[in-house]
Amino acid sequence: MSGEIGNEVASRRLFDVVREKMRTRHMAYRTEQAYLQWIRRFITYHQRRHPRGLGGPEVEQFLTYLAVDRKVSSSTQAQALQALLFLYRVVLEVDLPWLENVTRANRPRRLPVVLSRAEVRAVLGQLEGRPWLVANLLYGGGLRLLEALRLRVKDLLLERHEIVVRDAKGGKDRVTVLPEALDPALRTHMRHLREWFEAERRRGAPGVSLPQALARKYRGAATSWGWQYLFPANRLCDDPYGGGAIRHHLHEQSIQRAMKEAIRRAGVIQPASCHTLRHCFATHLLEDGYDIRTVQELLGHSDVKTTMIYTHVMQKGAKGVRSPLDRSG
């Protein structure tokens, strides 16, 4: 019994060190939570033994268990691997041997779901309010859902019709297009947002969440206009870094639920989602004649091969082939 208590105390201390190491590297809070979850599952799988008493064979065994028994996707297995590599290399300062005996999860090659332009219009027509504006940014600028929800006032360059996407996937910034068609709606939204913001300041409400380093560097940023979220949450939440109340951005589930209902009402039978609008953005741009390198930059893909998948779904018919049944005569 005392041994289990000792292990629990050691684990708590270990998690504190892991959390500290990730925060000194300014890793995203979601990444922090995901890594801690995988480390906790790894320890639990090995009967709560401390990771320092484990090594390469135990890591291989756990990753194989995920693929064979839990049947996780390849991306999930890869995330678990990255979490354990961080634990051993950064926290414990132990080099793991080459993990060559891991059974890899299958990586299925599937084409993305892409809606026609008419279907996109039908889905957008079933939305209103903030979900409508968010969905139009997803399709009009090729944003991921969280990229849109994390937008701050300063990230919209209305006069230049540009959106600056900060700290996107892979920790990169990029610039994408801001649809001119959204200009009136965005200006109206920002006018209402400014009025709400001024009312919040008058009543002394807490500011918005900020990356930890920025919160220290710019003391007043959390309550300044430029740093406000374009889509703030309705309620305050606890600051996971400094404690106290802060305002975060709108939760993605609220948009996902609205999108799901809009897809149903629009009569779309394909398994579409918020991310489908990003696929539609890329495919429709290629159909309009824009070169693939331009689309790659707008999407923020590191490798053009990732963008090239849209060339397989942009043509009418499989690979643009015309069926012999359609030939006349």
| Residues with active-site annotation | 144, 169, 275, 278, 301, 310
Q: What is the token pair recorded at 94?
A: 């132990």
Q: What is the Cα–Cα distance from 117 to 285, expressed in whole angstroms? A: 11
Q: Are the beta carbons of 169 and 292 closer than 8 angstroms?
A: no
Q: What is the Cα–Cα distance from 277 to 123, expressed in whole angstroms? A: 10
Decide: residue 113, CB within 10 A, 0-12 exposed, 13-18 middle, 19+ buried. Answer: middle
Q: What is the Cα–Cα distance from 217 to 212, expressed in whole angstroms? A: 9
CA distances to 122, 270, 298 from 310, in Å? 22, 17, 14
DSSP annotation of 229: B
Q: Are the beta carbons of 304 and 292 closer than 8 angstroms?
A: yes
Q: 238: part of which helix (H) or strand (E)?
A: strand 232-238
Residues 6+ apart with CB under 8 A from 179: 136, 137, 140, 141, 161
Phi then psi for 271, rounded to 5 degrees?
Answer: -75, 75
Strand partners, 237: 246
Residues 6+ apart with CB under 8 A from 160: 178
User: How many whole angstroms from its chain centre is CA 280?
Assistant: 18
Q: DSSP string covering 68-116, please?
A: HTS---HHHHHHHHHHHHHIIIIIS--PPPP--SPPPPP----PPP---
